[in-house]
Amino acid sequence: MQKPRIALDMDEVIADVQPKFIALFEEAFGWRPDPEQYRGGKIYDLPGTEKLREALHLKGFFADLPVMPDSQEVVRELMADFDIYIVTAAMEFRASFEDKYDWLAQHFPFIHWRNIIFCGDKSVIRAEYMIDDHVRNLRTFEGKGLLYTASHNLAEEAFTRVNDWAEVRAFFAEEKRRLA
């Protein structure tokens, strides 16, 4: 029998983009932004910092992002009962393709290339679950959407929230019981 599918986002869900933007901000402006300052948005939403976002187009940006704590272990566990598909909106960033592919091979070698998707608009994805930090991706999704907490989505209330990978594990343990 086919396992239920989980469409799993990369950035800010399994790969931590934040430390790099904090470092870029500090490099550019000489001080460290306080999380309260960019609460509800991204660091490069702060006035005068829009140029920071351009770093996303540089080769290497996505190559050395830290792995979100516990994500490797929990993904590996979930694979016993769910089909995991990595679904990342890479298509805006031509320079990111090989970096993202290599990052996955390095940190999630147990995910087959058949289960990796680089896309733009995620409305074209068919799965039972989606874990994403962007409500725009969950809104067009037909399955159950889980909002992975990030600074820019703290005020959102429309989706089941997961704050870390321990909560992802707990959510799917409950789903597994429910489906059994």
Known catalytic residues? 9, 11
What are the residue ranges of helices labelled H in 9-65?
A: 18-29, 35-38
Binding window for a copy of itself (CB under 8 A); candidates: 50-58, 74-82, 96-104, 151-159: 96-104
Amino acid code (one letter) for 179: L
> Residue 49 or residue 137: which is nearer to a copy of itself going by CB?
137
Q: Which of 15, 78, 127, 150 binds a copy of itself (CB under 8 A)?
A: 127
Site for a copy of itself in 6-65 (CB under 8 A): 7
CA distance 103 to 107: 6
Stretch of 19-27, 28-36, 125-133, 172-180 contacting a copy of itself, by CB under 8 A:
125-133
Least distance in angstroms from the C-beta of 64 to a copy of itself = 18
Q: Do residues 58 and 21 lie in contact, with contact meaning Cβ atoms separated by under 8 Å?
A: no
Structure tokens at 26: 């500090």
CA dihedral sign of residues 26, 51, 42, 159: negative
Q: Which residue in the block uniquely carries the two structure tokens 């934040």? A: 18
Identify which of residues 19 and 60 has a Cβ nearer to a copy of itself in the complex.
60
Check: CB of residue 61 under 8 Å from CB of residue 24.
Answer: no
Among 38, 61, 68, 115, binds a copy of itself (CB under 8 A): 115
Considering Cα of 121, then 160, then 15, then 39, what sign does the dihedral take? positive
State which of positions 67-86 bind a copy of itself (CB under 8 A). Answer: 85
Residues that bind a copy of itself (CB under 8 A): 5, 7, 85, 87, 90-92, 94, 97-98, 101, 112-121, 123-127, 142
